[in-house]
């Protein structure tokens, strides 16, 4: 009896048999999944990888995938240590009996694993929700238990005459087994030796014992009515504003110079860290949560605050963009990180914004017989040969002027293109 492929994959079809120690699932019908990642979950794909890593012939894997897609695998039976199914070649009436064997976990490992899982309610909830979070597998690894199969853990067997490892029939069974794992991670736990009912019962008994122990410990605590009647302690007063100037640290560090330590550079970094901490003490919540600068902007910020020195030279070299640093510093002085971004940013603004900005800039010379040529390229408008207005990613407009063949920031940002143009023309 065939089932609709998509319904089966989504878990709507129930196992035909579930006796606690073996589960038999109805066959997957033919489906079209060519081009998609084979399994839908990370643990399903981990199962596939463990099988594919030991494959001797990629052609057998390709045929196995085709068999799986075509629905040539019969009902799959999962029990401790093995999965099995009849797999036919499509042109033969008699299928081949195919088995994939996987080692079961010893009782000692199950005890360690279940103790760890029972200690985290989230793990139990995830399993009951048919999910296997990465954290659960990490918990198993910490307990010395490997849940997912590794290299060489899957042993295929088939009564076909092929000597391949795996043959196309075992590969097809392995691929379809990943769909069962997608739908229900308890299938993997059954392969490893424990069925869902007994696992749930063992976890419940561990939680019960844990709850009794917690109640015994709580019996010596404070009664609830007493705790609620106790007045909460007062919160400490907020810190007072920071007063005074920052202490120059470089001379202090230079007095304790050590081999291999650049006291000037270390003093610069320490002073910058102290300055940023100082600003955070008086910052608003929005300023505290503002995103950090990227490494280039951080290099520009530091370079803008120090005079020419050996440390400044090292900073320029470490940035990898020493030649661009002077322009970036000028942009930082005018408009901070958004100004630095405007030096490099190239993007296409909305068409209506481009049209409005172009008309606005043309109107600046309306009635003049000496109106310069206006060219637009993406977020940049060039007026004549030496003036350029750029639209920034922050929605503001930045003036630039050509100097020595490069476009240099020429003023602070403005809310509109005409204001930015006025700023650069006044310069």
pLDDT of residue 35 exceeding 50, the answer is: no
CA distance 365 to 254: 58
Q: How is 277-318 classified by DSSP, letter by letter?
A: HHHHHT--HHHHTSPPPPHHHHHHHHHTTS-SSHHHHHHHHH
The phi, psi pair for 34, rounded to 5°, reads: -60, 135
Q: List the one residue out of 418, 377, 425 whose CA is nearest residue 400.
A: 425
Q: What is the pLDDT confidence band of residue 355, given thresholds at 50, 70 and 90?
A: very high
pLDDT digits over 116-140, tens only?
Answer: 887 776 777 777 777 777 777 787 8
The per-residue pLDDT for 39 is 76
The per-residue pLDDT for 37 is 58
pLDDT digits over 46-85, tens only?
Answer: 888 888 888 888 899 999 989 998 889 999 999 999 999 9
pLDDT digits over 80-109, tens only?
Answer: 999 999 998 877 678 999 999 998 888 888
CA distance 377 to 111: 68
Q: Where are the chain's structural domains?
A: 5-210, 264-344, 351-426
pTM given for the model: 0.46
The per-residue pLDDT for 409 is 92
The per-residue pLDDT for 230 is 81
pLDDT of residue 215 exceeding 70, the answer is: no
Q: What is the pLDDT confidence band of residue 236, given thresholds at 50, 70 and 90?
A: confident
In the numeric block, which tokens belong to residue 138? 């990490």
The per-residue pLDDT for 85 is 94
Q: Is 398 helix (H, G, I), strand (E, B) or coil?
A: strand
């Amino acid at each position: 009896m065939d089932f609709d492929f998509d319904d089966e994959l989504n878990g709507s079809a129930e196992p035909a048999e579930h006796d606690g120690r073996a589960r038999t699932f109805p066959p997957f019908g033919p489906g079209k999944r060519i081009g998609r990642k084979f399994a839908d979950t990370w643990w399903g794909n981990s199962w596939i990888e463990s099988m594919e890593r030991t494959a001797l012939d990629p052609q057998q894997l390709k045929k196995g995938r085709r068999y799986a897609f075509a629905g040539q695998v019969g009902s799959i039976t999962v029990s401790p240590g093995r999965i099995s199914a009849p797999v036919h070649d499509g042109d033969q009436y008699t299928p081949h009996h195919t088995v994939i064997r996987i080692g079961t976990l010893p009782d000692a490992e199950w005890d360690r694993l279940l103790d760890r899982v029972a200690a985290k309610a989230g793990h139990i909830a995830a399993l009951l929700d048919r999910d296997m979070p990465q954290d659960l597998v990490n918990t198993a690894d910490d307990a010395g238990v490997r849940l997912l199969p590794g290299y060489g853990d899957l042993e295929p067997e088939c009564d076909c005459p092929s000597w391949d490892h795996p043959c196309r029939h075992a590969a097809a069974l392995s691929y379809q087994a990943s769909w069962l794992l997608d739908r229900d991670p308890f299938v993997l736990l059954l392969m490893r030796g424990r069925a869902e009912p007994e696992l749930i019962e063992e976890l419940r008994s561990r939680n019960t014992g844990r709850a009794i122990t917690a109640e015994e410990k709580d019996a010596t605590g404070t009664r609830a009515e007493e705790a609620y009647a106790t007045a909460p302690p007062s919160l400490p007063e907020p810190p007072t504003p920071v007063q005074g100037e920052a202490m120059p640290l470089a001379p202090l560090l230079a007095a304790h110079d050590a081999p291999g330590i650049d006291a000037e550079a270390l003093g610069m970094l320490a002073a910058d860290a102290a300055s940023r901490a100082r600003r955070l003490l008086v910052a608003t919540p929005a300023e505290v949560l503002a995103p950090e600068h990227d490494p280039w902007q951080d290099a520009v910020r530091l370079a803008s605050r120090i005079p020419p020195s050996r440390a400044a030279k090292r900073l320029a070299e470490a940035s990898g963009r020493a030649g661009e640093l002077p322009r970036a510093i000028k942009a930082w002085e005018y408009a901070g990180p958004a100004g630095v971004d405007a030096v490099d940013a190239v993007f296409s603004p909305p068409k209506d914004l481009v049209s409005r900005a172009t008309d606005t800039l043309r109107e600046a010379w309306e009635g003049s017989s000496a109106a310069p040529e206006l060219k637009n390229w993406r977020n940049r408008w060039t007026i004549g040969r030496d003036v350029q207005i750029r639209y920034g990613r922050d929605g503001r407009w930045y003036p630039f002027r050509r100097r020595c063949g490069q476009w240099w920031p020429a003023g602070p940002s403005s809310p509109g293109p005409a204001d930015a143009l006025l700023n650069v023309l006044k310069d």
